[in-house]
Amino acid sequence: MQGKADLHLHTKHSDGSLSTQELVERAKEAGLSIISITDHDNVAAVDEAIAVGKTLGVEVIAGVELSASIGDRDIHILGYFVDHRNGTLLEHLEFFRQERFKRAERIIEKLNDLDVPLTIQSVLEQAGIGAVGRPHIANALLEEGLTETYHEAFSRYLGYGKPAYEKKYQVSPQAAIELLSSAGGVSFIAHPGNNIDDTVLLELINAGVDGIEVIHPSHSPERVAYYSGIVGEYFLLASGGSDFHGGKRNDYDTLGKYYVPESQVAVIRHRL
Ligand code: AMP
Ligand code: ZN
Ligand code: FE
Ligand code: FE
């Protein structure tokens, strides 16, 4: 039987709840033979993951998840096989993380204006070593008893169009794709089923993405079939994974269930 590859995982270096070591161990237990850790704007987990993977017999591919914008739309782009020591890449990621921090401060200001007394300290406690994002702010709101649930934090304050919503630093998809390519990597449209219509999908294909994340927990079998068709039609690559964040969201049982066969990774590697 072919091994399983999960190419979309998060650690504490972004908004996941597991350490790098814990995540690789869990991946092994879940029967995965190849993984890619794709932290938001961060490649800090890659070296340790490779080392732990070696001891457990799990191959680790360097990865990262970038955010880009088309208008108001937040689009995620996955990069694989990047040189995670590439200076230009590291400088850009550092800049994106700083911008994430400034955005968190702006969100806190908005919350305070709404008489929600959240502090940046409690958000940074949630973020720890990770690139700070709205999930950390949602966790902090929950922890401080300022919302009843994690989801309420988004539906009431943090989600798109809600009163404490703040945009991220705006990067075009082209710029994100070029950055990944300049670091020797390939780029994939992440979870297009979430918020990408056909027009935007075509725009991203024209912008030069190498592939589409076909397998994702948010994709129905019909979506998977649809994106597989697009991949074939445009000679793109297909990837997939669980987008596992450590099991504390609705993802406690997703590890090992969303994957592509090892042979698919060989096809991606061949395109480099
Ligand atoms: P950020 O990168 O800081 O914009 O945070 C984006 C992450 O927040 C996404 O990957 C989701 O995990 C989460 N998120 C965004 N919108 C919502 C929502 N409406 N409900 C729950 N989680 C959300
Ligand atoms: Zn995430
Ligand atoms: Fe994403
Ligand atoms: Fe993700």
Per residue in 135-159, pLDDT (tens digit) is 999 999 999 999 999 999 999 999 9
Nearest ligand by distance to the CA of 12: 2
| Confidence at residue 252, expressed as pLDDT on a 0 to 100 scale | 87
Measured from the Cα of 134, ligand 1's closest atom is: 3
Band of residue 126 on the pLDDT scale cut at 50, 70, 90 = very high
Using the mean position of ligand 2's atoms as its centre, give its distance from the Cα of residue 227 in Å: 22
Q: Which single residue is written with the structure tokens 């609705």?
A: 250
Q: Which residues surround ligand 3, an ion (CB under 5 A)?
A: 76, 190
Measured from the Cα of 168, ligand 1's closest atom is: 4
Per residue in 156-181, pLDDT (tens digit) is 999 999 999 999 999 999 999 999 99
- Supply the pTM of this predicted model: 0.96
Cα-based angle 177, 178, 179 (whole degrees, multiple of 5): 90
Sign of the four-CA dihedral 101, 15, 32, 57: positive
Report the distance separating Cα 62 and Cα 84, nearest Å.
7
The two three-digit tokens of residue 115, written as one number: 């008489």
When pLDDT is averaged across residues 43-56 and rounded to a whole number, the result is 98
Measured from the Cα of 74, ligand 1's closest atom is: 4
Using the mean position of ligand 1's atoms as its centre, give its distance from the Cα of residue 33 in Å: 28
Which residue minimizes the CA distance to atom 6 of ligand 1? 134
Residue type present at position 97: R
Identify the burial level of 233 via C-beta atoms within 10 angstroms of its C-beta, where 0-12 means exposed, 13-18 middle and 19 or more buried. exposed
Per residue in 75-125, pLDDT (tens digit) is 999 999 999 999 999 999 999 999 999 999 999 999 999 999 999 999 999
Report the distance separating Cα 189 and Cα 168, nearest Å.
18
The pocket around ligand 1, CB under 6 angstroms, is made up of 40, 67, 133-135, 151, 154, 159, 168
What DSSP designation does 170 have?
P
Using the mean position of ligand 1's atoms as its centre, give its distance from the Cα of residue 1 in Å: 36
When pLDDT is averaged across residues 13-21 and rounded to a whole number, the result is 97
b/e map 68-107, b = 16+ CB within 10 Å: bbbeeeebbbbbbbbebebeebbebbeebbebbeebbeeb
Contacts of 258 (CB under 8 A, 6+ apart): 6, 8, 215, 216, 217, 240, 241, 242, 243
